[in-house]
Amino acid sequence: MKVTDTAVKGIEYQYTDEISREMRLAETKGGIPPSEGLPAELRPVYELAKQLHGPTELTQDAIENAQERKAGRFFIWHPYETAMLLRHFKLSYDEYLVMAAAALMHDGVEDNKDVEIEDVANEFCLLMDETSLEPDYVADSWLFIQVMTNEYEGLDGYIEYIEELKESPQVVLLKICDLIHNVIIEPMPREVLAGKERKLRKRELQIATLKDLCEYYKHSSIATNEGKEFIEIVLKELDQPEECIGAYPGSENHDYWLSMVKPEELDLAA
């Protein structure tokens, strides 16, 4: 029985011929994001997020039942890389734990109608209670998740939802990172958008919302010099014609934007 080594997003795995098909399939979907990219205290929350989105392991059933993005990667990459984007705003360690936990979980309940929100909330809070955070911070983290996942109907409902987000600069920052990922880091493929007026309008609305929230952040109570500099880079990207915005394969800024979510050592405020 031959044993082969391969690497998926920086993590080395060993697999036999019997499961090499699953490994190859997982590689085409991006593999599973490495937990090493997160503080040790957040890794149990990340495991909970993986349970909601899948896959938790590289088996055929787990891979086939995992949620996927339109771009083809496992969905778990979206909340994971949303948490990675928060590193560019020079948050304190406690602020990062609170907000990254919310980033990891922000789509978990919304996209899983079969789970009870109370069950997820209880498990999430139990995991967060094991961190070094004070109880009030734990409560804030779950509140951020709830605000981020509020449902709305139509354009008027969306506008009202965005205005409600502005009651908390922390939630605005979470939404900024969420939109940066959806609009720039992993935009919907052009072939999916082509001829789809509703999807094109949604993208245009996301771009306009991201611009608005970026301006809000620059004048918010949690803005840092490093965060403002990163926001200016985002706004420069958004000032291009719509068809030029986003890290599409072959685009000029493709490698740069992917480097912005690469797992690496955290550089947080003291």
d(CA 233, CA 179): 14
266: in domain: no
232: in domain: yes
The angle formed by the CA atoms of residues 108, 261 and 249, to the nearest 5 degrees, is 100
pLDDT at site 112: 67
Q: What is the pLDDT of residues 70-98, one digit of tens each?
A: 777 889 999 999 999 999 999 999 999 99
108: in domain: yes
d(CA 235, CA 28): 31
59: in domain: yes
Q: Is the pTM of this model over 0.75?
A: yes
pLDDT at site 150: 76
pLDDT at site 72: 79
pLDDT at site 107: 83
268: in domain: no
State how far the alpha carbon of 100 is from the alpha carbons of 42, 85, 89, 94, 251, in Å: 8, 9, 12, 10, 28
186: in domain: yes
Number of domain units in the chain: 1
33: in domain: yes
Ranges of H-type helices in 108-153 = 117-129, 135-148
Do the bridges between strand 3-8 and strand 11-16 make them parallel or antiparallel, or are there none, so unpaired? antiparallel
255: in domain: yes
- Which contiguous run of DSSP H or E holds residue 3? strand 3-8
Q: Residue 155: exposed, middle, or buried by beta-carbon count in 10 A (0-12, 13-18, 19+)?
A: exposed
d(CA 37, CA 84): 8
Q: pLDDT below 50 — which residues of the chain?
A: 1-19, 270
Which DSSP letter does residue 15 get?
Answer: E
Q: Give the domain range for residue 171.
A: 3-259
